[in-house]
């Protein structure tokens, strides 16, 4: 994805006129209003996701680590793609050559990291649900952090090619010169790169998500739970409870696991739907001649992309009581300028990383089952269950 001048240059064409062409007033007003609304909500929401996880120790779980990575990537997209669109719609490119390189790079970086983060937490969910015994050693916070670091390093290196593929172009009109951030060579030479991006960061993640969530649904919703899930049910990424837990507690823990899986599946579905218009348009316009470049449809595609980066915190708030209460606590702390302790009952599973002896703390998603608490004592040295109020 690129800035407003570059973002849809693969589906538009340059038109030389005697005077500088101006965007219609209604297009400027609608673009600015929608961009400011979506980006404002998205920036605030994603910052809150990062803060509630980093500031609340028991929320630092593998799943939440991936959600933080996704939130940071979405922030980059909103800041590097959304906000430049506001100035670009009324004044063309004003950020110069360096801005052209850096903003284009950051746009692709945010997009690709968000796609990889979605794939990562999908695989983590699959392992946690379908292979929960192995998950005790695989789905740890330390491993999640290493995977996230690898994702950011890989995508950072992969996106460096855009430093060599874009450049500023000047078009002279009778009443001035228009600077645009565009391509160094003909757009036809960029098609292999676009299709590589399309495959690596859209098609493959959706195929992986479809297959793995299908397997997860078979375990959680379409068949009786295996005994190891009932015995070790819980929330977060690795769920473990004492063997003496009551049936009622196990039922609540399994329900919580279902709820967080549904929430993450919704994130994947929204990613697929909101990116589909732009991805489809790029593919179609690489085949048809002349390309389709209706102004309002292009605006719709851009708003879908921005919405995808802004909507995830709303999904967390609607589908996760844990995040909802954490958001409220954060707002109260900001309003009163003091810290408040997180006082919602939680279930915890404390496990040791077998490779580093590092304790990894996971929490159960609270989904209307806050009254159910573990009261029995730990039964082994590797796992203990705590009830926090």
Q: Are strands 166-173 and 176-183 parallel, antiparallel or unpaired?
A: antiparallel
Residue 379's pLDDT is 34
In a domain, 67, yes or no: yes
In a domain, 369, yes or no: no
In a domain, 307, yes or no: yes
Residue-wise pLDDT tens for the chain (389 aa)?
Answer: 545 444 444 443 444 556 777 778 888 899 999 999 999 999 999 999 999 999 888 889 999 999 999 999 999 999 999 888 888 787 778 888 999 999 999 999 999 999 999 999 999 999 998 888 888 889 999 999 999 999 999 999 999 999 998 998 888 877 778 888 888 877 777 788 888 999 999 999 999 999 999 999 888 876 555 544 444 444 444 344 444 445 555 666 677 778 888 999 999 999 999 999 999 888 888 778 787 888 899 999 999 999 999 999 999 999 988 898 888 888 877 665 444 444 444 444 444 444 444 444 343 443 334 334 333 333 333 333 222 22
Give the predicted TM-score (pTM) of the model. Answer: 0.77
Residue 7's pLDDT is 43
In a domain, 51, yes or no: yes
In a domain, 383, yes or no: no
Residue 72's pLDDT is 97
- Nearest 5°: the CA angle 293, 296, 301 is 80
CA distance 247 to 231: 9
In a domain, 350, yes or no: no
Q: What is the CATH number of the domain that holds 262?
A: 1.20.1070.10
In a domain, 34, yes or no: yes
What total number of domains does the chain contain?
Answer: 1
Query: Is the bond into 30 cis (omega within 30 degrees of 0)?
Result: no
DSSP notation for 160-221: GGGGTTEEEEEEEETTEEEEEEEESS-GGGGHHHHHHHHIIIIIHHHHHHHHHHHHHHHHHT
CA distance 327 to 49: 8
In a domain, 110, yes or no: yes
**Domain containing residue 111:** 4-344
Q: φ and ψ at 182, to 5 degrees?
A: -140, -160
């Amino acid at each position: 994805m690129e800035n407003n001048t570059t973002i849809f240059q693969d589906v538009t064409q340059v038109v030389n006129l005697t005077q500088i062409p101006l965007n219609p007033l209604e297009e400027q007003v609608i673009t600015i209003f929608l961009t400011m609304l979506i980006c404002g909500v998205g920036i605030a929401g994603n910052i809150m996701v990062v803060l509630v996880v980093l500031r609340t120790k028991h929320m630092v779980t593998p799943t939440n680590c991936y959600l933080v990575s996704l939130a940071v990537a979405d922030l980059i997209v909103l800041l590097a793609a959304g906000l430049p669109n506001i100035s670009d719609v009324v004044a063309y490119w004003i950020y110069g050559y360096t801005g052209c390189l850096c903003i284009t790079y950051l746009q692709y970086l945010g997009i690709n990291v968000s796609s990889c983060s979605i794939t990562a937490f999908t695989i983590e969910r699959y392992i946690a649900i379908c292979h929960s015994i192995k998950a005790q050693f695989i789905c740890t916070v330390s491993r999640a952090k290493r995977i996230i670091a690898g994702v950011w390093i890989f995508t950072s290196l992969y996106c460096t090619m855009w430093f060599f593929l874009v450049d500023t172009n000047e078009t002279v009109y009778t009443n001035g010169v228009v600077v645009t951030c565009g391509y160094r060579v003909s757009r036809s030479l960029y098609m292999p790169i676009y299709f590589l991006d399309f495959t690596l960061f859209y098609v493959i993640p959706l195929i992986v998500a479809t297959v793995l969530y299908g397997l997860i649904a078979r375990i959680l919703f379409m068949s009786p739970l295996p005994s190891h899930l009932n015995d070790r049910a819980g929330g977060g990424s690795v769920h473990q409870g004492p063997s003496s837990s009551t049936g009622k507690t196990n039922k609540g823990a399994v329900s919580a696991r279902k709820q967080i899986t549904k929430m993450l599946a919704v994130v994947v579905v929204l990613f697929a739907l909101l990116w589909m218009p732009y991805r489809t348009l790029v593919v179609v316009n690489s085949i048809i001649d002349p390309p389709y470049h209706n102004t309002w449809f292009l605006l719709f595609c851009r708003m879908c992309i921005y919405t995808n980066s802004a909507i995830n915190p709303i999904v967390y708030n609607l589908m996760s009581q844990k995040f909802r209460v954490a958001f409220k606590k954060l707002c109260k702390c900001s309003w009163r300028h003091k810290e408040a302790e997180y006082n919602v009952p939680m279930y915890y599973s404390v496990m040791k990383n077998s490779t580093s002896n590092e304790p990894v703390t996971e929490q159960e998603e609270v989904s209307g089952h806050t009254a159910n608490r573990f009261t029995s004592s730990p039964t082994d040295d590797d796992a203990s269950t705590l009830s926090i109020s």
